[in-house]
Amino acid sequence: MPRKNLTFEESLTQLEALVVQLEKGELSLEESLKAYEQGVALAASCEKALETARLKLSELGAEPEEQPQS
Protein backbone atom coordinates (compact mmCIF):
# COMPACT_ATOMS: atom_id res chain seq x y z
CA MET A 1 0.00 0.00 0.00
CA PRO A 2 1.18 3.53 -0.66
CA ARG A 3 2.09 5.56 2.37
CA LYS A 4 -0.58 7.93 3.63
CA ASN A 5 -0.68 11.65 2.85
CA LEU A 6 1.11 11.58 -0.49
CA THR A 7 0.53 14.59 -2.67
CA PHE A 8 -1.25 14.10 -5.98
CA GLU A 9 2.06 14.52 -7.78
CA GLU A 10 3.83 11.96 -5.57
CA SER A 11 1.02 9.45 -6.07
CA LEU A 12 1.05 9.96 -9.82
CA THR A 13 4.84 9.59 -10.00
CA GLN A 14 4.72 6.34 -8.02
CA LEU A 15 1.86 5.07 -10.18
CA GLU A 16 3.80 5.82 -13.36
CA ALA A 17 6.85 3.98 -11.97
CA LEU A 18 4.71 0.92 -11.17
CA VAL A 19 3.28 0.92 -14.69
CA VAL A 20 6.79 0.95 -16.15
CA GLN A 21 7.79 -1.97 -13.93
CA LEU A 22 4.72 -3.97 -14.91
CA GLU A 23 5.14 -3.22 -18.61
CA LYS A 24 8.73 -4.50 -18.55
CA GLY A 25 7.35 -7.89 -17.55
CA GLU A 26 10.35 -8.72 -15.36
CA LEU A 27 8.48 -9.07 -12.06
CA SER A 28 7.41 -12.39 -10.66
CA LEU A 29 3.71 -13.13 -10.46
CA GLU A 30 3.66 -12.33 -6.76
CA GLU A 31 5.55 -9.06 -7.28
CA SER A 32 3.25 -8.16 -10.18
CA LEU A 33 0.16 -8.70 -8.04
CA LYS A 34 1.61 -6.57 -5.24
CA ALA A 35 2.52 -3.81 -7.72
CA TYR A 36 -0.97 -3.99 -9.23
CA GLU A 37 -2.59 -3.66 -5.81
CA GLN A 38 -0.39 -0.66 -5.03
CA GLY A 39 -1.29 0.84 -8.39
CA VAL A 40 -5.01 0.48 -7.73
CA ALA A 41 -4.62 2.25 -4.39
CA LEU A 42 -2.53 5.02 -5.95
CA ALA A 43 -5.02 5.48 -8.79
CA ALA A 44 -7.84 5.76 -6.25
CA SER A 45 -5.84 8.33 -4.32
CA CYS A 46 -5.27 10.37 -7.48
CA GLU A 47 -8.94 10.18 -8.41
CA LYS A 48 -9.95 11.33 -4.92
CA ALA A 49 -7.55 14.29 -5.14
CA LEU A 50 -8.93 15.24 -8.55
CA GLU A 51 -12.51 15.00 -7.32
CA THR A 52 -11.66 17.20 -4.34
CA ALA A 53 -10.15 19.77 -6.70
CA ARG A 54 -13.25 19.63 -8.95
CA LEU A 55 -15.50 20.23 -5.96
CA LYS A 56 -13.40 23.20 -4.82
CA LEU A 57 -13.56 24.70 -8.29
CA SER A 58 -17.30 24.16 -8.36
CA GLU A 59 -17.69 25.86 -4.97
CA LEU A 60 -15.67 28.81 -6.23
CA GLY A 61 -17.92 29.11 -9.24
CA ALA A 62 -15.31 28.01 -11.75
CA GLU A 63 -16.45 25.81 -14.58
CA PRO A 64 -14.06 22.86 -15.03
CA GLU A 65 -13.15 22.03 -18.61
CA GLU A 66 -15.15 19.25 -20.16
CA GLN A 67 -13.54 15.87 -19.78
CA PRO A 68 -12.97 13.76 -22.87
CA GLN A 69 -15.27 10.78 -23.08
CA SER A 70 -13.59 7.40 -22.74
What are the pLDDT digits (tens) for 17-51? 999 999 999 999 999 999 999 999 999 999 999 99
Q: How does DSSP classify residue 8?
A: H
DSSP 19-68: HHHHHHT-S-HHHHHHHHHHHHHHHHHHHHHHHHHHHHHHHTT--PPPPP
- For the entire predicted model, the pTM comes to 0.77
Could you tell me the CA-to-CA distances from 25 to 11, 28, 38, 47 in Å, in that order? 22, 8, 16, 26
Please state the φ and ψ torsions of residue 28, each to the nearest 5 degrees.
-70, 170
